[in-house]
Chains A and B, each alone.
Chain A
């Protein structure tokens, strides 16, 4: 009985969403097969991005709002590939290759800045995302085509420089999904996407077990103790963010090739929000997240994504209402997760303070 209660408390978010969705699905009146196909597609599309968030959480840096930096790097890679007209899988590989050095640099930058703002990595990463968005726009809207040569005039705005607002990824569109075509019971299964996601999951599991991964988790538990044990905490944290940024870059490329278009100025902006909300809906917290959380999250979040507008329309007669509700859920779940995390942290500190009053003045 007690174990059952603990199970409910630990998985409160997941259970809540399961209930919510089981009400919304019938209300949306969408056919089950359509939903299943969409979920299979979306698992292949978004899981990679969500998994990219895991390492910084293990390193005790919280939810990596700086992952949008990686997404920008991925988009830059894709834009170049579109310009050079390299099609299909080679194009995607090249885009990833181009994004790699950019992601590493941005990840290093993000990690270094977060090290200067320990204890508030999340808000710093969040603002850094906005800041780099400005730099990215400078690059995409002003440097491309003027300083950096762009051969394909179709990519450029009519004024002669700057990338168009929407870039059509026609030559690499769904290259992954169609590489190994597999149809089971009338459903398309994106095999290659799943292989890539399995690959990155294995990588994360392996990474966690290496010496470095252990260091990272030690740093995540307690920076001071880890430092005293001879772990280069700052360096470890930077590497965790770099890996996360690189994975986010790859993830964004996978994501966009499925959609088939880039919104040059805002494809990356929402990615951080959606990925983080997805992971949290999957049952993760600011300090603890696993690969299953990512998958459960993608299924639940995207089910909500799919059915909310229709459910809103059928129940109250307004599709916008469902849309706003979905956005509310994305923001709200992050707010709730952060509140729970801080609450727990404060309770623990209060606990240790009652033993040694005045020991932790900054927490009051």
Chain B
């Protein structure tokens, strides 16, 4: 009993509730005639889809910049990469790689500017990040209208101007990762490529945080005074962390698109950061501490809930409350993390 209590205290009550809830949903699958394998396949597809965007939050949390609510900036870089690739007419693997390459360039540029700005506002990053993200999405909405794209798959047909709100990547690089090495389990597809890619990027991040720069970054986040005394440039580390975060966000959205099948422009990236933030917090990260375990656990739990809730609720109650549950769970989790950290500091 004592052990259970301590485990709950360490793990955090909200997380325990979420884990138990998800487990309950899985256990209910046979009772309500929902295929467990189908559900699992969906969960894995969504983990592969969203994993890298959650991963993108780690560098900034570690360097003490807080939760990157401005991830939409990275998403915008990704959108630029994706649209460039389609504009050039690259198809298949090369299209996908070209999209990622272009997005990384934009991600680095945006990240540098964004990081420089955040260095001027230490301590107030999160709110500013949110609104910098929001306003960039709007500037880009204007850009999508006026940029001289030519590809007929992307621009509105006759009469309209600018790019479409959603662009299908079918025929370009739809499911390029999901279908790579994928195999069926009980008739449902396992998205091997996407999961492998997620693991690969995670490994790179893991390795990075064991190198000199990564360690220095963690030091800046844990104790900036100590880091400065050890001869680490705090501002430089923070900028690097923001650049990496933005670049990962850019890569993340392209991985998301290849699985989802569509590029969403205009208002699309506005709230992209929030599910990722909620996921990493559900996984046990704090406002200034995050690990890969948090990412894996978080993205599994969060995407698990998102997939399973509508399945089970629809089957049992003929009621789709999944949207409301998603809003309450994800924002409740962010709120919990925001109020908890200050208690520790006090």
Chain B residues lying within 8 Å of A133, measured Cβ to Cβ, are: 327, 331
Chain A residues lying within 8 Å of B134, measured Cβ to Cβ, are: 331, 335
CA A335 – CA B339 in complex, angstroms? 23
B328 touches A138 (CB 8 A): yes
Chain A residues lying within 8 Å of B343, measured Cβ to Cβ, are: 116
A23 within 8 A of B: no
CA A134 – CA B332 in complex, angstroms? 9
The verdict on A131 contacting B142 (CB below 8 Å), with A123-B130, A338-B124, A342-B120 known, is: no
Chain A residues lying within 8 Å of B207, measured Cβ to Cβ, are: none
B321 within 8 A of A: yes
B131 within 8 A of A: yes
A118 touches B335 (CB 8 A): no
Closest Cβ of chain B to A63, distance in Å, is 9
Closest Cβ of chain B to A282, distance in Å, is 18
Chain B residues lying within 8 Å of A205, measured Cβ to Cβ, are: none
The verdict on A339 contacting B145 (CB below 8 Å), with A119-B342, A328-B139 known, is: no
A364 touches B228 (CB 8 A): yes
Which of A165-173, A190-198, A315-323 lies at the interface?
A: A315-323
CA A338 – CA B162 in complex, angstroms? 32
A94 within 8 A of B: no
B138 touches A324 (CB 8 A): yes
B328 touches A127 (CB 8 A): no
B210 within 8 A of A: no
Chief secondary structure at chain B's binding surface: helix
B93 within 8 A of A: no
A346 touches B127 (CB 8 A): no
B339 touches A113 (CB 8 A): yes
B135 within 8 A of A: yes
B128 within 8 A of A: yes
CA A138 – CA B313 in complex, angstroms? 14
CA A328 – CA B161 in complex, angstroms? 20
B122 within 8 A of A: yes
Closest Cβ of chain B to A240, distance in Å, is 18
CA A124 – CA B331 in complex, angstroms? 10
B121 within 8 A of A: yes
Closest Cβ of chain A to B178, distance in Å, is 30
A141 within 8 A of B: yes
A124 touches B339 (CB 8 A): yes
B126 touches A334 (CB 8 A): no
Q: Contact string, A322-364, partner B, CB cutoff 8 A, digits 1/0? A: 0011011001101100110111011000000000001001111
Contact with A122, one of B127, B145, B162, B342 (Cβ below 8 angstroms): B127
Extra 7 A-B pairs, beta carbons < 8 Å, given A138-B321, A338-B131, A339-B117: A116-B342, A123-B338, A127-B334, A134-B325, A331-B138, A338-B121, A339-B120
